[in-house]
Amino acid sequence: MIRVENLVKRYGNIVASNNLNCHFEKGKVTVILGGSGSGKSTLLRQLTGLEQADSGAVYFDGVNLTGLSKKKLYVLRKKMGMLFQGSALFNYLNIFENIAFPLREHTKIADNIIKTIVTMKLEMVGLRGTENLMPSQLSGGMMKRVGLARAIVMDPKIIFYDEPTSGLDPISTGVIDKLIRDLNKTLNITTVVVSHDIESCFRIADNIIILFYGDIIASGTAQEIRNSKDPRVKQFINGDPEGPIPFTRTSKNYLDEILID
Ligand SMILES: Nc1ncnc2c1ncn2[C@@H]1O[C@H](COP(=O)(O)OP(=O)(O)OP(=O)(O)O)[C@@H](O)[C@H]1O
Ligand SMILES: [Mg+2]
């Protein structure tokens, strides 16, 4: 569904995407794992066409997003759903209007149909009856579920989640994880999740990509990653403070050293 080729993105001296090659399988859940500053959000922004790469290509259903006109990108982005970090709900709109927002923005669908669609999506995330509440009246977990309902309101082919469970208690995390899986299965939506939560990752992932300061240090099925003998992968998934991956960003020399296989 998405193929990334030789993707490079720099911010000054920082190489946020260092010649990345990877793909995101249709109908599967792929989790992008990595520590803070490893380039997860940068990769996600490039996958959605929100940001242009310095070089390389992102193919979405065979169409190269890099260099695409704004208008074509706009059309393509209607097929994508996005759950932003922190839910990004509009505080001044009630739950109904938050979810209806993309439909009002992008379509001319009549009010009574919008009502049916919004009710259906709220039902899917287990929040039917909250239409008239304001975001400030919801818990963090409920807000993420509203964000999710909004992300699927246009029936996307693919959905991107940036840290969907950060800041949630274990039960709410479990609820969101289950929702991500259920939506992936029932609606057959290709799913990309950015996360640094290992437990959550193994609960939902078919495939996993591990980033480390701009490089992909591992990619494969959840099973392959779990059984990996690579010391960097083992350190990452066990959360060991000691090992080949340094705790802080270090010199490029050191990085080169540990990236030699
Ligand atoms: N717009 C920007 N301008 C300058 N530097 C940036 C910008 N966006 C990201 N960076 C830098 O690129 C690197 C990767 O950042 P990114 O936000 O992709 O990391 P991340 O893996 O999402 O981290 P986190 O888990 O903390 O969200 C970081 O060193 C960051 O400082
Ligand atoms: Mg990020």
User: How far is the centre of ligand 1, averaged over its atoms, from the C-alpha of 103 (Å)?
Assistant: 31
* CB neighbour list of residue 203: distance below 8 Å, 6 or more residues apart: 174, 177, 181
Indicate if the pLDDT at residue 251 is higher than 50. no
Other CB atoms closer than 10 Å to residue 254's CB: what's the count? 11
User: How far is the centre of ligand 1, averaged over its atoms, from the C-alpha of 88 (Å)?
Assistant: 19
Residue range 193-207: average pLDDT? 93
Nearest-ligand number for the alpha carbon of 196: 1
Give DSSP secondary structure letters for 16-34: EEEEEEEEE-TT-EEEEEE
pLDDT band per the 50, 70, 90 thresholds, residue 259: low
Residue range 146-173: average pLDDT? 91
Residue range 139-162: average pLDDT? 92
Report pLDDT for 252. Answer: 45
Report pLDDT for 247. Answer: 56
User: How far is the centre of ligand 2, averaged over its atoms, from the C-alpha of 51 (Å)?
Assistant: 14
More confident call, 132 vs 141: 132
* CB neighbour list of residue 119: distance below 8 Å, 6 or more residues apart: 128, 131
pLDDT band per the 50, 70, 90 thresholds, residue 40: very high
pLDDT band per the 50, 70, 90 thresholds, residue 161: very high
Report pLDDT for 256. Answer: 53
- Give CA–CA dist 27/17, Å, rounded: 25
Closest CA to 189 of 74, 49, 43, 25: 25
Question: Do the beta carbons of residue 4 and residue 167 sit within 8 Å?
Answer: no
Q: Where are the alpha helices (DSSP H) in 25-91?
A: 40-47, 70-77
Indicate if the pLDDT at residue 250 is higher than 60. no
Pair type for strands 158-162 and 14-24: unpaired
Phi, psi for 248 (deg, rounded to 5): -115, 160
Report pLDDT for 253. Answer: 45
Report pLDDT for 22. Answer: 96
User: How far is the centre of ligand 1, averaged over its atoms, from the C-alpha of 220 (Å)?
Assistant: 24
Query: Which residues, by Cβ under 5 Å, contact ligand 2, an ion?
Result: 41
Q: Which neighbouring-strand residues pair with 9?
A: 17
Report pLDDT for 87. Answer: 74
Question: Do the beta carbons of residue 144 and residue 89 sit within 8 Å?
Answer: no
Q: Under DSSP, is residue 218 helix (H, G, I), strand (E, B) or coil?
A: strand
Report pLDDT for 114. Answer: 96
More confident call, 96 vs 196: 96
Indicate if the pLDDT at residue 141 is higher than 80. yes
- Ordered structural domains, the chain, with CATH: 1-79+197-261 (3.40.50.300)
pLDDT band per the 50, 70, 90 thresholds, residue 260: very low
Mean pLDDT of the chain: 89
Residue range 215-231: average pLDDT? 93
Residue range 163-171: average pLDDT? 87
Indicate if the pLDDT at residue 241 is higher than 90. no
- Mind listing the pLDDT tens digit for each residue in 71-107? 898 888 888 999 887 778 999 999 999 999 999 998 9
Report pLDDT for 68. Answer: 87
Per DSSP (E only), the strands in the chain are 2-11, 14-24, 29-34, 55-60, 63-64, 80-83, 158-162, 190-195, 207-212, 215-221
Give the residues surrounding ligand 1 with Cβ less than 6 Å away.
Answer: 11, 14, 16, 34, 36-42, 196
